[in-house]
A = this chain, B = another copy of it.
Amino acid sequence: MAMEFCAPAPENAQVLTAAAVAELVGGRVSGDSGVTVGRVNSLAAAAEGEATFFTGGGPASTSNAADLAELENSRASLILAADAVPTPAPATVRVANPALAAALLAQHFDLARPRWCGIHELSNVHASARIGDGVSLHARVHVDADCVIGAGCVLHPGVVLYPGTRLGPGCTIHANSVLGADGFGYIWSGERHEKVPQQGWVEIGAGVEIGAQVAIDRGTFAATRVGAGCIIDNQVQIGHNCELGRLVVLCAQVGLAGSTVIGDGAVLGGRAATTGHLRIGSGAQMAGNAVATKDIADGMVVGGYPAWDLRMEKRMIARIRRLARAGA
């Protein structure tokens, strides 16, 4: 079946001069400000006509020798780098945070990438759903009754929104994710698991990005909530009644049991988990595989199961491994 593409990007999305790059990312050119680039690439692979970036300090810094050698041998036309770093490129754009500058520059060029948009004929959208302007629903997206999709959202193939799901503007949801399936609520009757009907919904804030194969269950009575600006990697599971603040980071395969509350800006490493009915504080960080079984205070950095101070977890592991090494 044919797929159409969105309107072309603005003309200057294709190629920028070093001067224009500096303006875009808030930096300053050293070298030839007329050099042009049309793509960001990795330090090792960037060729003429491409930009790259170097995140370390110069030769006197802690940057390792391999990285410095890659920098010296770079064939990029433009390098984003900190002030003190010598580069071999015709143009260097000096910035405080080269990785951030590279992201912004790549976002600019990305506008020129052809992409599909519109509402695909193989998607199905309930008549009662409200769809904002500029929304892209790819093939086989399912939007059920009473859903609300904010302007500019992009839903990739196979995404399923159960009835009543609400997405703020500018969200992206990758393929085969499911929002609003029933939470896992049952009461044992003595004979069977009686289902607790899940009457709630899922509510996603503005600008949230959700990976592939993520499951976010509807609330029991009200909403399961994900705050604005959160980023959620693939295969994450979010149980019913969870409430995530703004800008929370959930790495791949994280599992949140029901009624987990997460404060703004908390970061959960890969496959971290919670046992539910607890709060992860704002700015808290959970190491990969950590399992929180009770509240984690704001700003704490935890690891292990049950999750506790990450330094203590590391010290503990060092000590018990010493036990194993001692004697036969």
Which residues of A does B touch, CB under 8 Å?
1-3, 39-42, 45, 97, 99-100, 102-104, 106-107, 109-110, 113-114, 116, 120, 122, 124-127, 138-140, 142, 144-145, 156-158, 160, 162, 172, 174-176, 178, 181-182, 184-189, 192-197, 199, 207, 209, 211-213, 215, 217, 220-222, 229, 231, 233-235, 237, 239, 247, 249, 251-253, 255, 257, 270-271, 273, 275, 288-289, 291, 305-306, 308, 312-313, 315-317, 319-321, 323-325
- With A192-B229, A320-B320 given, name 5 new contacts (CB 8 A): A99-B187, A103-B185, A142-B158, A156-B181, A253-B255
Knowing A158-B142, A194-B100, A251-B184 are in contact, say whether A213-B178 is a contact too (CB < 8 A). Answer: yes
B194 touches A107 (CB 8 A): yes
B255 touches A273 (CB 8 A): no
B195 touches A103 (CB 8 A): yes
A196 touches B255 (CB 8 A): no
A192 touches B247 (CB 8 A): yes
Knowing A3-B126, A157-B142 are in contact, say whether A175-B193 is a contact too (CB < 8 A). Answer: no
Q: Which B residues touch A288, using CB under 8 A?
A: 273, 275, 291
B231 touches A184 (CB 8 A): yes
Q: Which B residues touch A187, using CB under 8 A?
A: 97, 99-100, 102-103
| A125, A207, A316 — most chain B CB neighbours (10 Å) | A316
B162 touches A175 (CB 8 A): yes
Q: What distance in Å separates the Cβ of A256 from its nearest Cβ neighbour in chain B?
A: 9
Q: What distance in Å separates the Cβ of A106 from its nearest Cβ neighbour in chain B?
A: 5
Knowing A40-B221, A110-B197, A196-B106 are in contact, say whether A181-B140 is a contact too (CB < 8 A). Answer: no
Main secondary structure of the interface of A (DSSP, over half): loop
Closest B residue, CB atoms, query A308: B321
Q: Which B residues touch A109, using CB under 8 A?
A: 197
Q: Which B residues touch A176, using CB under 8 A?
A: 158, 160, 176, 178, 213
A249 to B187, CA, bound (A): 12
Closest B residue, CB atoms, query A214: B213
Q: What distance in Å separates the Cβ of A25 from its nearest Cβ neighbour in chain B?
A: 11
B158 touches A160 (CB 8 A): yes
A3 to B229, CA, bound (A): 32
Which among B39, B175, B189, B255 is the interface contact of A160 at CB below 8 angstroms?
B175
B211 touches A181 (CB 8 A): yes
B312 touches A316 (CB 8 A): no
Which among B114, B178, B317 is the interface contact of A175 at CB below 8 angstroms?
B178
A271 to B104, CA, bound (A): 35
Knowing A237-B235, A271-B273, A316-B323 are in contact, say whether A178-B184 is a contact too (CB < 8 A). Answer: no
A-B contact pairs, 9 of them (CB 8 A): A1-B125, A45-B222, A158-B176, A175-B178, A215-B235, A289-B291, A306-B317, A316-B323, A320-B323
